[in-house]
Amino acid sequence: MTGINEEHLRSHQSLSERTGKRGMAQTLEWSAAYSVGHPSLDVEHRDLMLTVARVSEADGEHAQLRPLLCELKRKAEAHFEHESAILREIVAATSSARQSRRLVAAMGQALIEEHLAEHDLALAVLDSMIRKTLSSPSRQMSSIGDNLTHWFITHAVKHDAHLKTLFQTIEHDCPELLGKVD
């Protein structure tokens, strides 16, 4: 859990737990609002969303829950690795002072550093929720669907929303970069 502030992790977890206990049951359905304008990241977000929805539907079936949670963790790790690699590539490609790339460089770097750190935190939160559920299924199973829904929305809406602006700016300012970040 390198680089993750324990207090931040605890507050993030307790927010998930509180929203779950309030019964904030949201049905996850893909819509254009979730699109970040990058085809393969959109496919991965949609797949994560479907896997979270399948966990919610498993509804107390512990035999189904374990493989689903392992699948979700594997997909989340692969997704964060891919998205982080894309963001690092954007930072590297826009760090030159070329006029056409100034806007991307200015808007990208501060947000991207924050975003990369958030991926570590999101994975740690996911890992902790999964471990708690699998170690004490009867107590945790009822809230895992809501907690994962909240976890996904936090990632896709709160943190990934600015990626859409970033990709639109790249398309406008330096479209040749898009080919390097697929």
Binding residues for Fe ion, per CB under 5 A?
83, 160
| Closer residue to Fe ion, CB minimum distance, 118 or 141 | 118
- Cβ–Cβ under 8 Å, residues 116 and 84: yes
Residue 65 to residue 54: CA distance in whole angstroms: 9
Q: In this structure, how many other beta carbons lie within 10 angstroms of the beta carbon of residue 12?
A: 21
Q: In whole angstroms, how close is the CB of 38 to Fe ion at the nearest point?
A: 9
| Closer residue to Fe ion, CB minimum distance, 146 or 160 | 160
Tokens of 12: 């993030």
Q: In whole angstroms, how close is the CB of 36 to Fe ion at the nearest point?
A: 7
Q: In whole angstroms, how close is the CB of 160 to Fe ion at the nearest point?
A: 4
- Cβ–Cβ under 8 Å, residues 114 and 160: no
Q: In whole angstroms, how close is the CB of 122 to Fe ion at the nearest point?
A: 7
| Closer residue to Fe ion, CB minimum distance, 65 or 122 | 122
Let me know if 89 is exposed, middle or buried by CB neighbors in 10 A (0-12, 13-18, 19+).
middle
Residue 16 to residue 11: CA distance in whole angstroms: 9
| Closer residue to Fe ion, CB minimum distance, 83 or 146 | 83
| Closer residue to Fe ion, CB minimum distance, 130 or 156 | 156
φ/ψ (deg, to 5) at 35: -70, 135
Amino acid at 173: D
Q: In whole angstroms, how close is the CB of 64 to Fe ion at the nearest point?
A: 25
